[in-house]
Amino acid sequence: MTLRVLLVGTLALILAGGLPLTKAQAAGEIFIPLLVYRTGPYAPNGIPIANGAADYFTLVNERDGGINGVKITFEECEDQYDTKQGVECYERLKAKSPVLVNPYSTGITYQLIPRAPVDKVVVHSMGYGMTASADGRWFPWVFNFPMTYWSQASAFVKYVALQEGGMDKLKGKKIAHIYHNSPYGKEANPTLEELARRHAFELTLLAVDHPGQEQKATWLQIRRLNPDWIYISGWGVMNQVAVKEAAAIGFKMDRVVGNWWTGTEVDVIPAGDAAKGYKSMNFNAPGAGFKVHQDINKFLYDKGKGAGRRDGIGEVLYNRMVVNAMLNVEAIRTAMTKYGNKPLTGEQVRWGFENLDITEKRLEELGMKGMMRPLRVTCDNHEGNGLAFVQQWDGKKWNIVSDWIEPIRDVVRPKLEAAAVDEAKKLNYTMRDCAKEK
């Protein structure tokens, strides 16, 4: 082979995309963009999330020298939780050849879903986004493990049943769902309606318009309805006002349960002591008592490399993003078992996500035993086998007050698969055969 043939051949391969050597790859690194909202109305939620991501990725670099020796590079882009700005951020950072993205906004997630297969970037919307995308046969590039909104809603109903003495005791009970009047807020409604039909409880749906600063009319209706349980799907100021209104009308706080985006430290602060007893769903344990936190302190904060305040470590949303970042890292590590310890492409990382298997032993090695449940993702199930629990505010901190709750999967999965067909049709997707993919 002459030099000329070699050069032409190499050039042809590059042009054909056969050697997609990116800037990060060329530097021997993996690039992950961080769409953050450290400013604006949603900053109180956005800051711990952004800090959690930056801290965990930095920890992996500082403590372990990267993922199997491959360093992670990341760059924050401020989107103020605004869909338009979030998409702009993604488009800008796309030039750096990311392998995955965590949008941290359902609105941005919906915008990125059609781009993912084109750009070959994995979209990981952990516990948010489009529920239907959990069907990996239709949405190979989107992952929402460890759980979806629908599974969460079913776990909430199961929790209520446990408190009432069994599923049969749900009959005749009154449950109100107060939700943010947005696609996100409405996500749980079909599941709740289906479960209300099956178990004969009375469901009342009460929408609250953005931003939710004024909810008097909603809580007047709650006073009249006098439900047995309230489930809240809120975000931002809606959460704080809802908790305060519930307390102000004297509703039993231990019968008010927020979803996992309605149960953070900032949600209960304005209500003060009146918020005591308020509950919320969660899938990541709160608190700073895990080994991973010790490492974060030792390798980052003791050396002045932490992204935020030391007392922010262990907050609900901080921990959620630490878990999120860990799952990203472990998915890449999984991909490396097949493709080698080197900078990977989006395609290769996607394989890692689809074959992710976080065992109890692995959680212990990561210093996160008890912080989340073991998780297994498959080609057709991008939600994984996650479980949820209920936490309760005691006036100072969140405490776990239930066992891990298995979602009612036989109700959720068929609805999810039907929804996936509908959503995929809109995008002209075809279903793949998972049996053929290994």
Provide the binding-site residues for another protein, judged by CB under 8 A.
38-41, 43-44, 47, 181, 205-209, 211, 213-214, 216-218, 220-221, 223-224, 236-237, 240-241, 244, 247-250, 266, 269-270, 272, 274
Q: Which is nearer to another protein, 171 or 223 (CB)?
A: 223
Nearest distance, CB of residue 216 and another protein, angstroms:
5
CA separation (Å) from 427 to 36, 135, 203, 347?
Answer: 27, 14, 33, 20
Nearest distance, CB of residue 306 and another protein, angstroms:
16
Token digits of residue 69: 């020796």
Q: Which is nearer to another protein, 167 or 205 (CB)?
A: 205
Nearest distance, CB of residue 27 and another protein, angstroms:
33
Residue in the block written with tokens 């209500």 = 271
Q: Which is nearer to another protein, 271 or 356 (CB)?
A: 271
Q: Which is nearer to another protein, 237 or 408 (CB)?
A: 237
Nearest distance, CB of residue 130 and another protein, angstroms:
21
Token digits of residue 415: 């609805």
Q: Which is nearer to another protein, 17 or 250 (CB)?
A: 250
Nearest distance, CB of residue 349 and another protein, angstroms:
32
Q: Which is nearer to another protein, 171 or 310 (CB)?
A: 310
Residue 237 φ then ψ, to 5°: -65, -25
List of residues 6+ apart from 44 with CB closer than 8 A: 236, 266
Nearest residue to 71 (alpha-carbon basis) of 61, 58, 57, 59: 61
Residue 110, number of CB atoms within 10 A of its CB = 18
Run of H or E residues at 316: helix 316-339
Nearest distance, CB of residue 71 and another protein, angstroms:
30
Task: Write the DSSP string, 141-182.
Answer: TEE-TT--HHHHHHHHHHHHHHHHTSGGGGTT-EEEEEEESS
